[in-house]
Amino acid sequence: METVTKYRTCSLCEAMCGLAIEIKGKDILSIKGDMEDPFSKGHICPKAVGMKDIYDDPDRLKRPVKKVDGEWKEISWELAFDEVANKLKSMQSKYGPQSIGYYAGNPGAHNLGSLLTSPDFIRSLKTKNRFSATSIDQLPHHLAAQYMYGHALMMPIPDIDRTDYWLIIGGNPLVSNGSLMTAPDCGGKIRNIQKRRGKVVVIDPRFTETARKADQHHFVKPQSDVWLLLAMVNYIFHNKKVKLRHLVDLIPEEELMLLEKVMQPYTIIVASRKTGITVDTITTLFDDFLKADKAVCYGRMGVSVVEFGSLCHWAINLINLLSGNVDREGGHMFTSPAFEVIQKKSKGQIKFNRWQSRVRKLPEFGGDLPCSTIAEEIMTPGENQIKCMITNAGNPVLSTSNGKQVGDAFDQLEYMVAIDIYINETTQYADIILPPATGLEVPHYDTVFNLFAIRNTVKFSDPAIPKEEGARYDYEIFQELTKRMIQEELPADDALKAKILYKLGMSPKDMIAFGLKMGDQVSMDDLDNNPHGIDLGPLVPNLHQRIMTVDGKLHVASDIYLQDLKRLNKTIDDTVEGLVLIGRRHLRSNNSWMHNSLRMVKGRVRCTLLIHPDDAKTYQVTDGVDVTVRSRVGKVTLPAEISEEIMPGVVSIPHGWGHKRKGVKLSIAEAHAGVSCNDLTDENLIDQLSGNAAVNGVPVEIVQSKIAAI
């Protein structure tokens, strides 16, 4: 049998690395970086090789399974589709459409079929009880983009290929490969900045993998970054350093004047007291940034999943804007994607707080409610109580605040459907699981991450390996369910009915081809003839053409932020006592969904409590010995890892672990279970403005260590 090499894009994280995959029949012989990929240029991380393990995994589901008397039984696709549709309609009829909840997990954003076809299915449910991983991740980014630039996806991207000064706050791009900044080989890009005599500075409570490669690192108290960022905005005004350059006509002068006034209380002295960074260090940091010819400030999880995450990302956008670094080479820029996902018809639409959650009245954003409300919306009786949940490629029991409570809530549901390839910590509660073909078996095009890429590029990947006979693509699953849900609502007009059904039958490749044609940069034929991808060039100034606000103005002082400053000001004298918890990520992990690959989890134990030597001494913690950590919502026991990598007063547990639970069928993950940091995070700790979860800076205490018990 002939050995062939297939080229495609890795779909496991945001970096869009090109892969060269050697295949013989249905056997994957090797996965390497594609040296001819114009974007990643041969770079891959260890997770890419793990795609083979997902494909070969004996624990992976390939046919629908139904829970019968507590046991999983394989059933046919037709029976599964009919049962799910009939049950959903029955729930709608009995309790109303709001009785159905829907949760979309992080992997859905990496999957072409799900992205293009799940929206029709979600609309067919007619429910406002929708949730996604967005609200335990990047929601503050989207909110700032919505109010400043007119669309939730109008997020400026750091042009790190050409910057002279990269300020990283609460981000670890060497491990995340970017994150809302699609950038393969961030290590190489940092070296290139330094080779051209630029500077990289990291501000983080942990001396991260990125910090080790940077020119400077400064510890910062968790949750305090907002004071530093606002002080920098004030510093720019106070020292007459505002440079609006070619964007001066976009920014309302009255908003600029108001912004200068409201920023006056946020001084370097206040920032120093709140953050723990000295006044001299902060002053030098600000001056160096403002002196650089081309600079960019980038913030990620450490300033997103915190109490004032929305203010943080508003301030980051303001810093880049006021310093003259927006829509400019080496600064904060916008992409020009070949497949346009930002549609002009949505120009100026504010999709925020159009409705609220039933119990806590938290705001909707982009059609989703905050995922911190899932459990209470299921467990609190009353009208519109969630009785049925559908999860798509998500594991909220491990991935959302107070995950144990989420599991308890799912256990109370009348019915649950999961679209997933595993029986994991969340899907174990389902009544039926619909597993799609996955990974190397599916076509791929990055509709989302091309929008966040540091360079304009385009690539379509056909399946590297055909899906098994009888398997279904995720788009086939969503299309079949949607047809069954709307069949009674289809119009009597045969032509119109045929048009709707035709759309529901289109393949993702057909949809992408149509979108590319509308964009008029490349065609699907071009992509078929260039399997390594096509380079469309560096980011170019385009904000005047792309801005999506109704009036075409760039709004710097929206009322939602000015009001939230009042909430922040009430905390100016607050101090933190005891320990606070932050998360962390490893290069071989991808949230909770790569732990059933032995090559990803073997070696030293990575699910540890990172603790500073001073705190270890105070709490009588010994390196490598189990320690019990408690928060308001729960407790976990895990090995201690004593290190000066973490600042005093802060402890860290990596995200995505905690696999040893009854009902889970992940043999390798269970053997390397670890604990879930979200058994400690608190669903009541949120960014009040956006509803985003605040899972960094959670108060915890060490209640027992083995050495203390001896």
Q: What is the DSSP string of 497-528?
A: HHHHHHHHH--HHHHHHHHHHHHTS--HHHHH
Q: How far apart are CA 324 and CA 165, in angstroms?
A: 13
Which CA distances in Å does 514 have to 238, 421, 519?
Answer: 50, 30, 9
User: Does the pLDDT value for residue 598 go beyond 50?
Assistant: yes
Residue 408, helix vs strand vs coil: helix
**Tens digits of residue pLDDT in 202-229:** 999 999 999 999 999 999 999 999 999 9
Tokens 């090797």 belong to residue: 30
Q: How far apart are CA 203 and CA 169, in angstroms?
A: 5
* Superfamily name with CATH number, domain 141-338+550-568: Dimethylsulfoxide Reductase, domain 2 (3.40.228.10)
Confidence of residue 706 (pLDDT cuts 50, 70, 90): low
Whether 174 contacts 139, CB under 8 Å: no
For residue 288, with 0-12 CB atoms within 10 Å meaning exposed, 13-18 middle and 19 or more buried, which class applies? Answer: middle
CATH 3.40.720.10 fits 577-709, yes or no: no
- Classify residue 97 by its DSSP letter: G
- Separation of first and last alpha carbons in the chain: 63
Report the C-alpha gap between 421 and 438 in whole angstroms.
8
What confidence tens digit (pLDDT) does each residue in 61-99 have?
Answer: 999 999 999 999 999 999 999 999 999 999 999 999 999
pLDDT digits (tens, 9 = 90+) for 508-535: 999 999 999 999 999 999 999 999 999 9
Residue 180 backbone zone (phi > 0: left; psi -120 to 50: alpha; other: beta): left
| pLDDT tens, position by position, 261-300 | 999 999 999 999 999 999 999 999 999 999 999 999 999 9
* Four-way CATH pick for 72-127+370-444+460-532: 2.30.30.100, 3.40.50.740, 3.40.1390.10, 3.40.50.720: 3.40.50.740
Give the DSSP H or E segment for 203: strand 199-203
Distances (CA, A) of 681 to 75, 412, 549, 685: 38, 22, 36, 8
HSE-up of 345 (CA within 13 Å, CB side)? 2
pTM for the full model?
A: 0.97
* Whole-number Å distance between alpha carbons of 505 and 513: 15
User: How far is C-alpha 105 from the chain's CA centre?
Assistant: 9
35: number of CA atoms within 13 Å, CB side?
0
Q: Indicate the class that CATH gives domain 1-56.
A: mainly beta
Cα 112-113-117 angle, rounded to 5 deg: 120
Percentage of the chain modeled with pLDDT above 70: 99
Q: What percent of the chain has pLDDT over 90?
A: 92
Q: In what order do the strands lie in the sheet with 18-24?
A: 3-9, 18-24, 27-33
pLDDT tens digit sequence for 628-637: 999 999 999 9
Residue-wise pLDDT for 46-61, tens only, equals 999 999 999 999 999 9
**Lookup: tokens for 191:** 């070296």
Please state, rounded to an integer, the average pLDDT across all residues of the chain.
96
Residue 710 has pLDDT above 70, yes or no: no
Judged against a pLDDT cut of 70, whether residue 709 lies above it is answered with no
Domain ranges of the chain: 1-56, 72-127+370-444+460-532, 141-338+550-568, 577-709
